[in-house]
A and B are shown apart, each in its own frame.
Chain A
């Protein structure tokens, strides 16, 4: 906070570097410079958005950086502190082990090295470092941990994440909030890979409390999601539900990525508790809120789509065919398509076959327990078909068609289906047959009214949400300088919109 006030008058200066940034070629060092520049600008102008953008660059950087690059940057940017020493120590250890593995030093590192030495691709003014040293420390720390995570060095990732998070906690700067949130994210990921997720539950809880007290929206959203993920990883649905009911997801949060994840977790909880229509609503919104690019967040969308398909089946609906025709998801959804086919035709045998042959897949996806529950839906679908094709059929035949053990079993099941309104029929116990009733006229009831109301209501809701989501420019626009700033900002928004389309991989895993 102090730093922000002091440097407010320097404001216009860093803008120059901004314009240059689109220039190719992108190198790791150059990109890092841009990120730090963005963070600096963000703090000086109090625009959290810029910091978020810097964080979004991580997904580009993580794919290009090598240990040598990282090591160089850490040495160059950070001041001498025990924190730096430990980061350097970790990186050097990693570098040595890599060198041992492959005798000639890896080529990409060698290529990147000279470019980071030459001053031009690193457009960052050194004196800026002083003001945002804590941010630099955490940003680089995040990069280091991300690197370890990517390289599956779980032990290192865990100790690195511990280090970064404790360092972030030691500062009391609100400008660090988005970075801290990301650091926690890395922490959770590292522990998850190490299979020790339950150990950090208390830490996350404390961090959530701190974030709430500081009105740190990003922090709140991140911690809440991490906690939910933590609980769900251990099937602690009850605890997760309690957490959800006691907390609210921060409104006015820009990042729809976090919101999508939140919805996804809630959808899962609701699905376990048999509240299918609720769950389905949450899951479809989650899919809609997730980034739409074909490559970004594919895993997330896949998981959410799978869950949504099964839940929709459980509700007694058949998912749209187009769900399975999405180019990038098509292959992964084939097992689910088979399930849908089985449910649609009401064939208990083929359902069992599909379930048995794909059991491992479903288990991995965490949908097995839901698919097990589908059995009664398969029966219902089968009954519905029978009901449509026969006006009168003996119970023994029903049992045979559905693959049930006895006519007595069939009698109970038909009874329940009639009660649930799945079929319109009556049973004659003495003569052992099911007699279908003529379909009642729905247009004589208030069903059309309800359906119509539901649609109108949806449209109105959509309109209201759209109005709420609109952004208006700030009130005062008299100053020439402010106009300049505003133009700048609009440009950024445009650029950001373009980038956001690309989405943020990192927010999903």
Chain B
């Protein structure tokens, strides 16, 4: 019987995760578990003949460990896969199963992940799925507030948020978010300031030393050169200066104009 087997394996996994937590060992156990879960009559497709709560709970908790492990392992893609599988248990079986205490943590992490990957559209789609009474939970409030600050451009608050993350698990995604935010801040800085002092630039860009800043400025210059939109050059002297690179005045593109005019002519021809 697959279930008895699974229970045994599951206990091993739980012990390993809560105890020594050797990532490789856990992964091996997880893989075995996943094979066993796939054979559960409650999980199999087409629609389960009978829903066994026990089986579903085991499946759910296994996947949750999987998600946590992926975060610990810094494997974003596998984290995403686990969450997608978990969503079935969180939403579709919400009547049959008692809510999981890890649910909000995982959903919060997922929201942060979407935010840090700059997938704001999906962030909102996901948020709409979460019942409004759960949204006041601190684990979910955190990403929601962050999104609001990002949208407003209140990067100051984002920087502050980095120091009071509600859960240790979040910090991995926070680090990713910071690097996304850094590029946004950089774009704002170069547009809004002629020059800023080094200390402020370091704080705004969340960098530690002047060396880091120099390296970052270098990479910014290079990136823009490659993209062909090289209008502002970063220079680190006593201050961080943004120098306008001379560009030609915007010209009216003649080919575009040509295309338009010819298109009008064809359309008019058709009408007359």
Chain B nearest CB from A265 CB (Å) reads 14
Question: Contact between A408 and B156 (Cβ–Cβ < 8 Å)?
Answer: yes
Question: Contact between A411 and B156 (Cβ–Cβ < 8 Å)?
Answer: yes
Q: Which of B17-25, B68-76, B187-195, B212-220 contacts A (4 or more CB under 8 A)?
A: B187-195
Question: Contact between B188 and A418 (Cβ–Cβ < 8 Å)?
Answer: yes
Question: Contact between B189 and A415 (Cβ–Cβ < 8 Å)?
Answer: yes
Chain B nearest CB from A195 CB (Å) reads 13
Chain B nearest CB from A228 CB (Å) reads 15
Is B250 on the interface with A (CB-CB < 8 A)?
yes
Residues of A bordering B, CB below 8 Å: 235-238, 241, 272-275, 369, 373, 375-376, 379, 404, 406, 408-409, 411-419, 425-430, 444-446, 449, 453, 456, 460, 463-464
Chain A nearest CB from B45 CB (Å) reads 13
Is B253 on the interface with A (CB-CB < 8 A)?
yes
CB-contact partner of B151 in A376, A408, A428, under 8 A: A376
Q: How far is the CA of A373 from the CA of B120 in the complex (A)?
A: 12
Select from chain B the residue with minimum beta-carbon distance to A408: B156
Question: Mind listing 17 A-B residue pairs with CB under 8 Å?
Answer: A235-B128, A238-B125, A274-B124, A369-B127, A373-B151, A404-B154, A409-B157, A412-B155, A412-B156, A412-B157, A416-B152, A418-B188, A419-B153, A419-B188, A427-B193, A429-B200, A444-B250
Select from chain B the residue with minimum beta-carbon distance to A453: B260
Question: Contact between A412 and B188 (Cβ–Cβ < 8 Å)?
Answer: yes
- Chain B stretch 185-216: residues in CB contact (< 8 A) with chain A: 185, 187-189, 191-194, 196-197, 200
- Chain B stretch 233-272: residues in CB contact (< 8 A) with chain A: 249-250, 252-253, 257, 260, 264, 267, 271
Chain B nearest CB from A417 CB (Å) reads 7
Select from chain B the residue with minimum beta-carbon distance to A411: B156
Neighbouring B residues of A416 by C-beta, 8 Å: 152-153, 155, 184, 188
Q: A413-B154, A444-B249 are in contact. List 15 more A-B contacts (CB 8 A).
A: A236-B129, A237-B128, A238-B125, A272-B125, A273-B124, A274-B124, A369-B127, A376-B153, A408-B156, A415-B188, A419-B188, A427-B193, A429-B200, A456-B264, A463-B267
Given contacts A237-B128, A429-B197, contact A409 B156 (CB under 8 A): yes
Q: How far is the CA of A375 from the CA of B128 in the complex (A)?
A: 18
Q: How far is the CA of A425 from the CA of B260 in the complex (A)?
A: 34
Question: Contact between A446 and B153 (Cβ–Cβ < 8 Å)?
Answer: no
Is B148 on the interface with A (CB-CB < 8 A)?
yes
Q: How far is the CA of A374 from the CA of B155 in the complex (A)?
A: 18
- Residues of B in contact (CB 8 Å), total 37
Question: Contact between A235 and B253 (Cβ–Cβ < 8 Å)?
Answer: no
Closest 7 CB pairs of A and B: A416-B153, A415-B188, A273-B121, A412-B155, A235-B128, A418-B192, A408-B156
Neighbouring B residues of A446 by C-beta, 8 Å: 250, 252-253
Question: Contact between B252 and A449 (Cβ–Cβ < 8 Å)?
Answer: yes
CB-contact partner of B191 in A373, A376, A415, under 8 A: A415
CB-contact partner of B267 in A411, A445, A460, under 8 A: A460
CB-contact partner of B153 in A406, A412, A464, under 8 A: A412
Select from chain A the residue with minimum beta-carbon distance to B251: A446
Chain A nearest CB from B127 CB (Å) reads 8
Question: Contact between B154 and A275 (Cβ–Cβ < 8 Å)?
Answer: no
Given contacts A429-B196, A456-B264, contact A417 B153 (CB under 8 A): yes
Question: Contact between A419 and B250 (Cβ–Cβ < 8 Å)?
Answer: no
Question: Contact between A412 and B154 (Cβ–Cβ < 8 Å)?
Answer: yes
Chain A nearest CB from B256 CB (Å) reads 8
Q: How far is the CA of A294 from the CA of B253 in the complex (A)?
A: 48
Select from chain B the residue with minimum beta-carbon distance to A430: B197
Question: Contact between B188 and A406 (Cβ–Cβ < 8 Å)?
Answer: no
Q: How far is the CA of A272 from the CA of B129 in the complex (A)?
A: 11
Q: How far is the CA of A449 from the CA of B124 in the complex (A)?
A: 36
Chain A nearest CB from B145 CB (Å) reads 12
Q: How far is the CA of A444 from the CA of B252 in the complex (A)?
A: 9
Neighbouring B residues of A460 by C-beta, 8 Å: 264, 267
Chain A nearest CB from B88 CB (Å) reads 12
Select from chain B the residue with minimum beta-carbon distance to A273: B121
Select from chain B the residue with minimum beta-carbon distance to A402: B152
Neighbouring A residues of B193 by C-beta, 8 Å: 415, 426-429
Question: Contact string, B127-151, partner A, CB cutoff 8 A, digits 1/0?
Answer: 1110000000000000000001001
CB-contact partner of A375 in B121, B148, B271, under 8 A: B148
Neighbouring A residues of B197 by C-beta, 8 Å: 429-430
Neighbouring A residues of B192 by C-beta, 8 Å: 414-415, 418-419, 425-427
